Amino acid sequence: MEEALAAFLGKEACHVTAAGYLACTCSISSLAQRGDALIVDPNIHSSLWDGVLLSGAKIERFAHNDMDSLAKLLAELDPKQAKVIAVDGVYSMEGHIAPMPRLMELAGQYQAVVVVDEAHSIGILGRNGRGVCDQFGVTEQVELICGSFSKALASTGGFVAGSRTLIEYLRSNSRQIIFSAAISPAAAASARASLEVMQSEPEHHERLWTNYRHLKAILERLGLDFWNSPTPALPIVIGDKMKCYELWKSLWDQGFFTVMSLPPGVPPGKELLRCAVTSLHTTEQLDRFGDALKVGMQRAGIQPKS
C-alpha cells in the first residue's frame, strides 16, 4: 500500500498510519521544532493544528487563502529562522482550494518547507484524483503530503508521503508513528483497491463532478450560501445555531443525512450543514434533496440570501 500510494502521489516514499489524524499530526509535530516558525492558514484541519501545538514552534497565522497576507508575514520574519508552511489542499468546511502556485512561489522565495493535507482533495482534483498538488503541478516542490483513507479511499487509516530521507526521519522521530499500532490488513487492502479503481475507472470521477454541478445549481436556486465552494465539499452556511439544527432535523425527518457543524468547528456566525455529494448519488436523489431543503428552510424560517 505504501509503495502504491507513493507512486500514485509522485513521491519517493510513504508511511501509512493507523488514522488520518495521526498522519497529519506527525507531519508537523516532528518536522518543526522550538525556535522555528510554523506558518499556518487558521482554517487548517484540527489534526494539523494538534501537530502545530505539539511542535513547540512559534505559530504565525496568515489570513485564510490570502497570499498577500502570507507574503507580508514571511517578509517580516527573520530570514535565518527555519520556516514551515501548513495548509489544507481542500479546506474541509469551506471546500476552498489552496492557491498552491503562488504559495510555492513564496515558499521558494523565503526558503520555507511546505506541508499539505490532501485528505479532501485525493480522489477529487488532479489526474485520476491525485490531489491539489498534482492539479497545480507542484508535487515535487512540496516536502510532505499527508491525508486520510476515510474519504475517497473508502477505508480507515492515513498516510504521509515525501522524500525517502524525510519519511525515514519521521519513522524514527515521530511519537505518533513510534507509539501507534499498524493499520489492519483489511483496511490496507480496501484502500489499495480504491486506489486501483480511481485509476482504472475514471467514470466515477466524471460523475462526481456532474453531481457537484447539479447540487450547486440547486443551492443557488434556493438562495443558500455555500461559501462559494468550488469542490464537492459543499457547505450550507446558515449562521444561526437553532436554525441550523432545525434544518438538520427537518432533513433527517425527510430521510437525508447531513452533518451539523457548530463552533468551534466553524467560526461563530458560520454555523453550517456539511453535505458532501458523491459519484454514487443519482440526479433523482439530488432533486429530492433540493425539495427537502425547501421544506426545511420554511420550517426553520431561513430566508434565501439576497
- Amino acid, res. 300: A
**Amino acid 58: pLDDT:** 97
Task: Please name the residue that has the C-alpha cell 485509476.
Answer: 199
**CA 242 from centroid of its chain's CA atoms:** 27
Q: From the CB of residue 179, how many other CB atoms can be counted at a distance below 10 Å?
A: 8
Q: Compute CA 160 distance to the chain's CA centroid, rounded to the nearest angstrom.
A: 14
Q: What is the model's pLDDT at position 264? A: 87
Mean pLDDT calculated for residue range 251-264: 95
| pLDDT over threshold 90, residue 281 | yes
Q: How far apart are CA 150 and CA 44, in angstroms?
A: 17
231 CB contacts (<8 Å, ≥6 apart)? Answer: 90, 95, 96, 97, 120, 121, 124, 125, 212
- Distance (Å, rounded) from C-alpha 106 to C-alpha 245? 41
Q: Where are the beta strands (DSSP E) in the chain?
A: 13-17, 37-40, 58-61, 83-88, 112-117, 144-148, 158-162, 233-237, 259-261, 272-276
* Alpha-carbon distances, residue 286 vs 166, 185, 257, 296, 306 (angstroms): 44, 35, 12, 15, 23
Mean pLDDT of 218-241: 95
> CA-CA distance, 156 to 150, in Å (whole number)?
5
Could you tell me the three cell numbers for 96?
A: 476552498
Domains of the chain: 2-200 (3.40.640.10), 203-300 (3.90.1150.10)
- For cell 431543503, what's the residue? 293
**Measured distance CA(26)–CA(22) in Å, rounded:** 6
Average pLDDT along the chain:
96
Q: Is 306's pLDDT higher than 80?
A: no
With pLDDT > 90 as the criterion, what percentage of the chain qualifies? 96
Which cell goes with 159? 498516510
Q: pLDDT tens, 62-102?
A: 999 999 999 999 999 999 999 999 999 999 999 999 999 99
Cell numbers for 208: 462526481
pLDDT 10s digits, 194-228: 999 999 999 999 999 999 999 999 999 999 999 99
Task: Answer whether 100's CB lies under 8 Å from 132's CB.
Answer: yes
**Confidence (pLDDT) at 186:** 96
Mean pLDDT of 179-193: 95
Cα separation, 73 vs 69, in Å, equals 6
Return the bridge partners of 159, or none.
Answer: 16, 147
Q: How many residues does the chain have?
A: 306
| Residue 304 per-residue DSSP state | P
Count CB-CB contacts under 10 A for residue 306.
Answer: 4
Percent over 70 (pLDDT), the chain: 100
Alpha helices by DSSP H, listed for the chain, are: 2-9, 20-29, 46-55, 67-76, 100-109, 132-135, 164-173, 175-178, 185-200, 203-222, 241-253, 283-300
pLDDT of residue 237: 96
